[in-house]
Amino acid sequence: MIHFALSDFLPALPEMFLAAAALALLILGVCQGDRSAREIAWLSVLALVVTFALVAAPLHAHGPERQISFYGMFVTDGFGAFSKMLVLAGSALSLIVAMRYNEQEGIARPEYPVLVLLATVGMMAMVSANDLISLYVGLELQSLALYVLAAFQRDTLRSTEAGLKYFVLGALASGMLLYGASMVYGFAGTTAFDTLARDFADGGTASIGLVIGIVLIAVGLAFKVSAVPFHMWTPDVYEGAPTPVTAFFSVAPKIAAMSLFIRVMVGPFGGLLVEWRQVIWFIAVASMLLGAFAALNQTNIKRLMAYSSIGHVGYALIGLAAGSAIGVRGILVYLAIYLFMNIGTFTVILCMRRDGKLVENIDELAGLSRTQPGMALALAIFMFSMAGIPPLAGFFAKLYVFLAAIDAGLYGLAVIGVLASVVGAFYYLRIVKLMYFDEPKGAFDKPIGREMQAVLVLTALVILFFFAWPGLLVDGADAVASALFSG
Amino acid sequence: MDVGTVIHAICFYAFAGVAVASGVMVIAARNPVHSVLFLILAFFNAAGLFVLLGAEFLAMILVIVYVGAVAVLFLFVVMMLDINFTALRQGALQYLPIGALIGLILLVELVLVFGAWTMAPDFAASAVAPTPPIAQVTNTAALGALLYTRYIYAFQVSGLILLVAMIGAIVLTLRGREGVRRQKISTQVSRARADAVEVVKVRPRQGV
């Protein structure tokens, strides 16, 4: 007979709290109807903040300590806690900037924050996965909520199309991943990451079936992070989904999927670095190049951000190709900075509204520096940062992954990365040029809302002054990344 | 040969024969409703085969999930959608060669899997073994014991996934419709006699 003690569940306390909060808010929302949307959105932000504290507290108290629970299905360690904090911050910020937009578009309903919370639970489960089964259930929980969110503006054709497209392609990717997982289980006889890692460490060689399984799992994960050549859904979904949903898509799920990618590749299959490195090398190069070149002639700013995010995933994957603690540190720093740059940029995009109507064309930003100088300055900071211009945070993000690539001897990858970021700088700087040197097309609607201003100021300050205190982020990332490799 | 083996063999051939025959009828029947009913018959016989194999849990799931839910859903769809199945079926025979080919490939693959599959030798030690041994416990009890202990985490997260599916279906499809007259039970119950009945004195030849 197996006995459970309460302490067995403690490692998953943040997840359980967030899930319970989502259920409670769902009941509240159902009872109060649509008029409670804003109240429930703020309560959801509060729930995310509390969860953040629950994740951060043990990390602060015990350091990055590795703990296995639920019969090996669930792992809590410093790396997981770090990624979860990023995911929670991304979800909370995107919920805050969503409220006003949803009210203006008439889609302010209590289900929106509840679905975001449930998706976040799924992401936390992904980050903590220590078994192919828990990987899959976490991923599905996240994806299913995201499909619904993409189609949330159900009365517009573009949103429903985005939801359907995302659903069909996402289901295909999940199928690939499951197929890969079943191959791994069939040939290795286990789904547990720890057992797989131990067997490879004991000199287990990968049979051809096992390699196919690993590649298929990588394909499924590459789809979720929207790396080339599995990126096709990204521009359409980003363009079609309601803008706050796009903002959410571009940060939290991407961070979670990236962390899961790291966890799977360096965990159970860490012993096969030589085999999978070439795969990651290829998708990193392809993502960087496509992200740089395909964005050049985009006119819709949401599509531009989609290609930009594909490019950023490519840079982050450089760290994974390095396959070292320095590489993982680079990815974590990159993701953290990317989170702030992206949320900031999307806050500006959410304010692009003229006479109550949304405008999404890049040309509409012309002359923004004269009509709304504050917003233009913030967007200029984000664009310079994304282009990787020092001393803004985006420069350091790229610096740390390129350092990892050089450390691992992947000089080609670093050179291609630098060249791609030069090409990418063109379209980021074009936006700055539009805002500062072109004739104004008329102001956007004012006021933009106090919470939007707050997010804008916060993200801009983080990006601007990261260079002054890089240690706050880099040291933490360094500690959890080395713990991931030593443990 | 003892009696048990003979009965076992008779049952197997009866279930298998009926399953194959009803499978053929599913695609041969002219009336789509008959097709679905034959499908249900095929499911029942497959469940019988599972019981003969000692997998009573799979048999139950087959009956409950496939017959109870999936096949009934098919039946609803077939009855509610007015599809001209005879027109659909015209020219279906031209797909016979490719169908036969796919069936053949599946068969060959199954034979290959059973004949040639081996687990990677380096991993043999960590292969998952059935716990507890099959002889000691029925498979329903074994699955239940595992599902609510070893896999409680996956089980709970799956529950959340189903909840999300439910919320999603409601969010994307439920619309508040105008002009629907809903039953308000509280108003009905709180209605007093005075609101409903009026006593009118009617004089002869004058009407109300």
Give residue limits of the domains in chain A.
6-486
CB contact under 8 A, B161 and A121: no
Q: How confident is the model at residue B76, as a pLDDT?
A: 85
Structural contact between residues A204 and A190, judged by C-beta atoms closer than 8 angstroms: no
Q: What is the extent of the structural domain holding B2? A: 1-89
CA distance A277 to A258: 15
CB contact under 8 A, A206 and B120: yes
Instruction: Give A-chain residues touching B126 at CB under 8 angstroms.
Output: 188-190, 195, 198-199
Q: Which residues contact A337 (CB under 8 A, 6 or more apart)?
A: A385, A393, A394, A396, A397, A463, A466, A473
Instruction: Give B-chain residues touching A71 at CB under 8 angstroms.
Output: 149-151, 153
CB contact under 8 A, B126 and A109: no
Out of B119, B163, B167, the one facing A189 most closely (by C-beta) is B119
Q: Indicate if the pLDDT at residue A477 is higher than 70.
A: yes
Instruction: Give A-chain residues touching B124 at CB under 8 angstroms.
Output: 189
Instruction: Give A-chain residues touching B158 at CB under 8 angstroms.
Output: 137
Task: Classify residue B179 as exposed, middle or buried by CB count within 10 Å of its CB (0-12, 13-18, 19+).
Answer: exposed
Q: How confident is the model at residue A80, as a pLDDT?
A: 92
Task: Identify the closest residue of chain B to A128 by CA–CA distance.
Answer: B153
CA distance A237 to A226: 11
Out of B126, B160, B172, the one facing A190 most closely (by C-beta) is B126
Q: How confident is the model at residue B185, as a pLDDT?
A: 87
Instruction: Give B-chain residues touching A191 at CB under 8 angstroms.
Output: 128
Smallest CA-to-CA distance from A245 within A372, A419, A364, A105 is with A105
Number of CB pairs < 8 Å for A and B? 102
Task: Identify the closest residue of chain A to B150 by CA–CA distance.
Answer: A71
| Range in A15-19, A394-398, A448-452 the model is least confident about | A448-452
CB contact under 8 A, B172 and A151: yes
| Range in A20-24, A98-102, B137-141 the model is least confident about | B137-141
Q: Could you give the number of structural domains in chain B?
A: 2
CB contact under 8 A, A198 and B119: no
Structural contact between residues A353 and A104, judged by C-beta atoms closer than 8 angstroms: yes
- The 10s digit of each residue's pLDDT in A222-265 is 999 999 899 999 999 999 999 999 999 999 999 999 999 999 99
Interface predicted TM-score (ipTM):
0.92
CB contact under 8 A, A73 and B151: yes
Q: What secondary structure, in 3-state letters, does B110-145 show? A: HHHHHHHCCCCHHHHHHCCCCCCCCCCCCHHHHHHH
Q: How confident is the model at residue B130, as a pLDDT?
A: 61
Residue B140 lies in a domain: yes
- The 10s digit of each residue's pLDDT in B156-185 is 999 999 999 999 999 998 887 777 888 888
Q: Indicate if the pLDDT at residue A1 is higher than 50.
A: no
Out of A140, A145, A187, the one facing B119 most closely (by C-beta) is A187
How many Cβ atoms are within 10 Å of A471's Cβ, its own excluded?
9
Residue with tokens 């939801």: A163
| Range in A115-129, A409-423, B90-104, B122-136 the model is least confident about | B122-136
Residue B104 lies in a domain: no
What CATH number does residue B39 fall under? 1.20.120.1200
Reading the block at residue A97, the tokens are 């900037």
Q: How confident is the model at residue A391, as a pLDDT?
A: 87
CA distance B152 to chain A (A): 7
Mean pLDDT, range A321-331, rounded to an integer: 93
- Tell me whether the omega of the peptide bond preceding residue A268 falls within 30 degrees of 0, making it cis: no
Determine which of A71, A112, A137, A167 to mutate to test the interface with B (most B C-beta atoms within 10 Å).
Answer: A137
CB contact under 8 A, B123 and A133: no
CA distance A406 to A414: 7
B11 and B67 belong to one structural domain: yes
Could you tell me the pLDDT band of residue A454, with boundaries at 50, 70 and 90? very high
Determine which of B158, B171, B172, B173 to mutate to test the interface with A (most A C-beta atoms within 10 Å).
Answer: B171
CA distance A207 to B119: 9
CA distance A402 to A407: 8
CB contact under 8 A, A202 and B122: yes
Q: How confident is the model at residue B192, as a pLDDT?
A: 86
Instruction: Say how many CA atoms lie within 13 Å of B10 toward its Cβ.
Output: 7
Instruction: Give B-chain residues touching A209 at CB under 8 angstroms.
Output: 120
Smallest CA-to-CA distance from A112 within A152, A140, A156, A157 is with A152
Instruction: Give B-chain residues touching A141 at CB under 8 angstroms.
Output: 157, 160-161, 164
**Position B110, amino acid:** L
Reading the block at residue B123, the tokens are 């991993």
Determine which of B151, B155, B157, B172 to mutate to test the interface with A (most A C-beta atoms within 10 Å).
Answer: B157
Q: How confident is the model at residue A205, as a pLDDT?
A: 74
* DSSP designation for B176: -
Q: How confident is the model at residue B116, as a pLDDT?
A: 74
Q: How confident is the model at residue A58, as a pLDDT?
A: 84
CA distance B102 to chain A (A): 20
Structural contact between residues B105 and A194, judged by C-beta atoms closer than 8 angstroms: no
Q: What secondary structure, in 3-state letters, does chain A show? A: CCCCCHHHHHHHHHHHHHHHHHHHHHHHHHHHCHHHHHHHHHHHHHHHHHHHHHHHHHHHHHCCCCEEECCCCEEECHHHHHHHHHHHHHHHHHHHHHHHHHHHHCCCCCHHHHHHHHHHHHHHHHHCECEHHHHHHHHHHHHHHHHHHHCCCCCCHHHHHHHHHHHHHHHHHHHHHHHHHHHHHHHHCCCEHHHHHHHHHCCCCCCHHHHHHHHHHHHHHHHHCCCCCCCCHHHHHHHHCCHHHHHHHHHHHHHHHHHHHHHHHHCCCHHHHHHHHHHHHHHHHHHHHHHHHCCCCCCEHHHHHHHHHHHHHHHHHHHHHHCCHHHHHHHHHHHHHHHHHHHHHHHHHHCCEECCEECCEHHHHCCHHHHCHHHHHHHHHHHHHHHCCCCCHHHHHHHHHHHHHHHCCCHHHHHHHHHHHHHHHHHHHHHHHHHHHCCCCCCCCCCCCHHHHHHHHHHHHHHHHCCCCCHHHHHHHHHHHHHHHHC
Residue B25 lies in a domain: yes
Task: Identify the closest residue of chain B to A155 by CA–CA distance.
Answer: B172
Structural contact between residues A83 and A261, judged by C-beta atoms closer than 8 angstroms: no
Structural contact between residues A88 and A51, judged by C-beta atoms closer than 8 angstroms: yes
How many Cβ atoms are within 10 Å of A10's Cβ, its own excluded?
13
Q: Which residues contact B5 (CB under 8 A, 6 or more apart)?
A: none
Mean pLDDT, range A481-486, rounded to an integer: 85
Determine which of A8, A30, A148 to mutate to test the interface with B (most B C-beta atoms within 10 Å).
Answer: A148
B80 and B160 belong to one structural domain: no
Reading the block at residue B117, the tokens are 């599959």
B82 and B140 belong to one structural domain: no
CB contact under 8 A, B150 and A71: yes
Q: How confident is the model at residue A444, as a pLDDT?
A: 85
Q: Which residues of chain B have pLDDT under 50?
A: none
- The 10s digit of each residue's pLDDT in A158-184 is 999 999 999 999 999 999 999 999 999
Could you tell me the pLDDT band of residue A29, with boundaries at 50, 70 and 90? very high
Please provide the average confidence, as pLDDT, over all residues in chain A: 91
Collect all residues from B whose CB is shorter than 8 A from any CB in A. 117, 119-120, 122-128, 149-154, 157-158, 160-161, 163-165, 167-168, 170-172
Q: How confident is the model at residue A187, as a pLDDT?
A: 84
Residue B123 lies in a domain: no
CA distance A68 to A131: 11
Handedness of CA B170, B172, B176, B180 (dihedral sign): negative
Structural contact between residues A450 and A313, judged by C-beta atoms closer than 8 angstroms: no
